[in-house]
């Protein structure tokens, strides 16, 4: 199984709208993804995700829209090395 991992910064109206919770739910619904999501002090949301390329791409597609109430204006992505001790997909506070 090939694994991809990305750190993704989401900009726009993404804090205070349930973005982290919805991201975790979307990642879990896709299955086979590990990682974390957290709010950043500058108003962005940071997502780190690892998994099979198709599933990672599906979550990246979801992040471009986000949940109802969010207004995503952009994504910035960086490929990273998967973190082996990630256990599921969690909200990091």
* Active site (catalytic) residues: 20, 39
The DSSP 8-state label assigned to residue 14 in this structure reads -
The DSSP 8-state label assigned to residue 32 in this structure reads S
Give the residue ranges of DSSP H helices in 1-93: 19-30, 53-63
Cα–Cα dist 55/58, whole Å: 5
Token digits for 42? 């500058």
């Amino acid at each position: 199984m090939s694994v991809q991992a990305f750190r993704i910064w989401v900009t726009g109206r993404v804090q205070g709208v349930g973005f982290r919770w919805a991201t975790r739910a979307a990642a879990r619904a896709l299955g086979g993804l590990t990682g974390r999501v957290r709010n950043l002090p500058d108003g962005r949301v940071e997502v780190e995700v690892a998994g099979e390329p198709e599933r990672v791409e599906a979550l990246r597609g979801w992040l471009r829209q986000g949940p109802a109430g969010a207004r995503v204006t952009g994504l910035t992505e960086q490929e990273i090395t998967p973190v082996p001790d990630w256990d599921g997909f969690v909200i990091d506070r």
